[in-house]
A and B are shown apart, each in its own frame.
Chain A
């Protein structure tokens, strides 16, 4: 307290000035003893040299019990003592000051007293440490609050970990389910090169694209690729119905237009008019004749198949007019045929590829760009073509927000 402060305080009211200053003079010792916090001074070995009445009162100890007899660490709980030795004391030695450390003191009555301790090293003229001055604040309320905070944080951590674990589990389940909608591997067929690829837009959502390829007999092979409406479990259920209906149909009847009609009937029967479920699909059969493949395919509302020729050109096989499968009882499906000669490759894809957004204006990638891309790569084998298109999908980055399936069928170039 500066005398100036007392002057200022008394300047306006001279009559209370003597009482005020005597209050200040009188309070020095009393302030130490009965301050609202604990005071304590120890020698460098921790022996308590001085302690105020407040702290003695909190601890339920008498001055004789403590001064010259106990060390500061003796007042602490065992855990606190370990903490004091491993953290508090080294820090104080090195920094000369340490503030706001949470410790617990033992009281004579038994209960522990949570405190916040601040210590300062007092040094002699030669810089040698002489003694340690410590203030002790009762932190009962604060500790209770902190513990509540800590409990809440633990609960939040646990909830977060659980949520993360659930997410991982869900993602794994979805991946398994997604794989079940696609063939594990494409069959090895003599004189034919095939390749498939599936891009999943979100690992947390089941996509609705599908493809399959399976031999019908020694020379003929059936294949299809499509896209069901919607996403998630309902789309997966629809994909499953679609895939197995088409498979069964194609095994019975090798005319792709008929097969799409059968699928159309099955979907219309399964789903009602106010909850229409449909898909776009291209289904086909190829037959090996000599070193060529005779391909017949049919489309229901699906983007046109692309053919890369051995001579370096590329073209769409138009199936314009084929309608969504599962919408109308009288739906029309459009068939088309082609022959793949050595070096030719047929590419089926879903509209994730052509509907991708590119460039700063997020323009539709579109059919013209895909045709140019294919022409620039023709001729290309199935694997090389699928790899190239996969690279394109990667290049789209977040411009590609839909699942995308690819299936390529080709006749290897004569070597």
Chain B
């Protein structure tokens, strides 16, 4: 199984220029970038992929061990960069993948030359002296919420509920499919995402880094943005006039122009 097929890798955009890798976070798949992708494609080769377990990746390649820590997801990212032999790529990671990008940049410094962290959070759970926005009970609630949706979601989810995700694709019926994964896989990803603590990793970043946060984001509040900005040496923080956790969907132009501005500012 090649990495391209395993991770459903797609390369679009310019044939020359600095490659940009768009990395989806917890919840959905590479489709999250569909509004931003054309805005970057003019000047950059754009790489999209799905983590193993998400979207149209090869579910048979999923192993609980590997994907129970962010390192497993970072390995997917590094392996995609290796497969395409990328050099000096810009990794744009959404949400938890902002941290995946940090881990990948440390593991493959020759391949990753800059980071864009979209609504990052190195730690979701509050503790003494740190406010991540959530308590451990909140995260349990999310896991419950995930579970009830796998059971209660519309008919398109039925094959997943019935434990038969390999049935043939049925076009329209799968409208929600790109946000739908096997419930066991989703549970592991959710746990890994929301229970991880990557604060220490922020200091290790040596590449130019742009942090994008939203005006109002219940998942990564502005205090967290400020924390990341302070922790990543030499980072740049841009606050988008957007609400929610997915500015690439709610404010795609602003998101793309912030990235373009960062890349054209002579970041090396």
Contacts and interface: CB of A to CB of B under 8 A. Distances in A.
A374 to B, nearest CB: 45
Interface stretch (B81-89, B205-213, B245-253): B245-253
A78 B245 contact: no
Max count, chain B CB within 10 A of own CB: residue among A45, A102, A103, A114 = A102
Interface stretch (A92-100, A165-173, A178-186, A257-265): A92-100
A3 B176 CA distance: 37
Contacts of A95: 175-176
A116 B245 contact: no
B219 A85 contact: yes
Nearest to A73: B218
A94 B26 contact: no
Nearest to B175: A95
A383 interface: no
A81 B144 contact: no
Contact of A45 (B138, B216, B219): B216
Nearest to A150: B151
Contacts of A73: 218
Interface residues of A, number: 37
A99 B154 CA distance: 7
B145 interface: yes
Max count, chain B CB within 10 A of own CB: residue among A73, A79, A104, A149 = A79
Contacts of A78: 134-135, 138, 141-142
Interface stretch (B27-35, B41-49, B66-74, B229-237): B27-35
A93 B145 contact: no
B215 to A, nearest CB: 9
B143 interface: yes
B142 A82 contact: yes
B17 interface: no
B159 interface: no
B152 A146 contact: yes
Contacts of A116: 152
A100 B216 contact: no
Contacts of B139: 79, 82
Contact of B142 (A79, A94, A100, A147): A79
B93 to A, nearest CB: 15
A142 interface: yes
A87 B27 contact: yes
A85 B124 CA distance: 14
Contact of B243 (A45, A81, A90): A45
A99 B153 CA distance: 8
B141 A77 contact: yes
A86 B27 contact: yes
Given A44-B250, A101-B153, A146-B148, A94 B141 contact: no
B145 A103 contact: yes
A101 B244 contact: no
Nearest to A93: B249
B151 A149 contact: yes
Contacts of A45: 216, 243-244
A86 B34 contact: no
B256 interface: no
A220 interface: no
A74 to B, nearest CB: 9
A86 B245 contact: yes
Given A79-B143, A146-B151, A86 B249 contact: no
B152 A90 contact: no
B64 interface: no
Contacts of A150: 147-148, 151
A90 B176 contact: no
A232 B56 CA distance: 47
Nearest to A76: B145
A90 B144 contact: no
Contact of B152 (A46, A94, A98, A139): A139
A75 to B, nearest CB: 12
Contact of A83 (B149, B154, B175): B149
Contacts of A71: 243
B106 interface: no
Nearest to B245: A85
Nearest to B95: A86
B95 to A, nearest CB: 8
A80 interface: yes
Contacts of B216: 45
A100 B246 CA distance: 22
Contact of B144 (A79, A94, A142, A149): A79
Nearest to B27: A86
A216 B38 CA distance: 85
Max count, chain B CB within 10 A of own CB: residue among A71, A78, A93, A142 = A78
A325 B203 CA distance: 82
A143 interface: yes
Max count, chain A CB within 10 A of own CB: residue among B31, B32, B176, B217 = B176
B153 A102 contact: yes
Contact of B146 (A83, A94, A104): A83
Contact of A87 (B95, B144, B148, B179): B179
B127 interface: no
Given A79-B140, A82-B138, A100-B154, A87 B149 contact: yes
A149 B148 CA distance: 11
A334 interface: no
Given A93-B249, A100-B154, A86 B25 contact: yes
Contacts of B34: 94
B245 A89 contact: yes
6 contacts: A44-B243, A79-B143, A82-B194, A99-B154, A102-B151, A149-B151
Interface of B: 25-28, 31-32, 34, 95, 134-135, 138-149, 151-154, 175-176, 179, 194, 216-219, 243-246, 249-250
Given A79-B141, A102-B152, A104-B145, 8 more contacts: A45-B243, A78-B134, A82-B141, A86-B245, A87-B149, A87-B179, A89-B250, A90-B27
